[in-house]
Amino acid sequence: MSEIFLDIETTGLSFKDKHKIVEIACIETNELIPTKRIFHKLINPERDVPDEAFKIHGFSTNFLKDKPKFYEIADELLNFIGENDLIIHNASFDIPFLNNELKLIKKNIIEKNKIIDTLELARSKFPGTSNSLDALCKRFNVDLSRRTRHNAVLDCDLLREVYINLLDAKEPKLAFNLDTERKTSHVKVSNYSKKIIKLSDTEIKNHKLFLKNELKKNYF
């Protein structure tokens, strides 16, 4: 079974304040190695994008107005995820947004037992310190030079590198060739020429069991 790294960008901090998703990205990996399958959608939130959110991700109300609405891409997203585990940084932010959208269109929500939250994992390993994605990238010397603004596809790639380090695994650095136009849904990633040191099956199995059985999650 594969893993899916997922990230979203939104118009604000809570769906309870009528904020909506504007970007969703998923990167598929197999034993944490990219399969080159990526799901990426920009979404019309059907509301304005506040200046504070625009400064974070750069998507304006006008830019998003001709993009598909969430209900138009929901089945494609769910099919891409399938039965795979979702690896998310700060799932307590992403999952309520996603599940709210899914409830509105009467789709099955994403269950907690499918989710690995790297923020909780980081907090368990580095208590009392900042465990934001930026902070973890700096801790593990993951290159942040590409991250001038929040971008869901790039953040998924950065998270994959951070997660490998959180598992105490090592690998050479790996760069995505991202489409800055952000127009495509399934983006093919090429030029994976560097050798990657794989985690053992036992390490992956033991870690997944630890996360699912020991970490307490509060997503709602």
The question of whether 150 is a catalytic residue gets the answer yes
Question: How is 185-207 classified by DSSP, letter by letter?
Answer: SB-------S--PPPPHHHHHHH
Task: For the chain, state the CA radius of gyration.
Answer: 17
Which of 40, 57, 150, 207 does the annotation list as catalytic? 150
Q: Which two tokens stand for residue 79?
A: 């099919």
- Calculate the CA 121 to chain-centre distance: 15
List, in sequence order, every residue forming a beta bridge with 6; answer none if it has no partner: 26
Q: What does the alpha-carbon distance between residue 89 and residue 93 come to, in Å, rounded to a whole number?
A: 9
Helix (H) or strand (E) holding 141: none
Which residues are known to be catalytic? 150
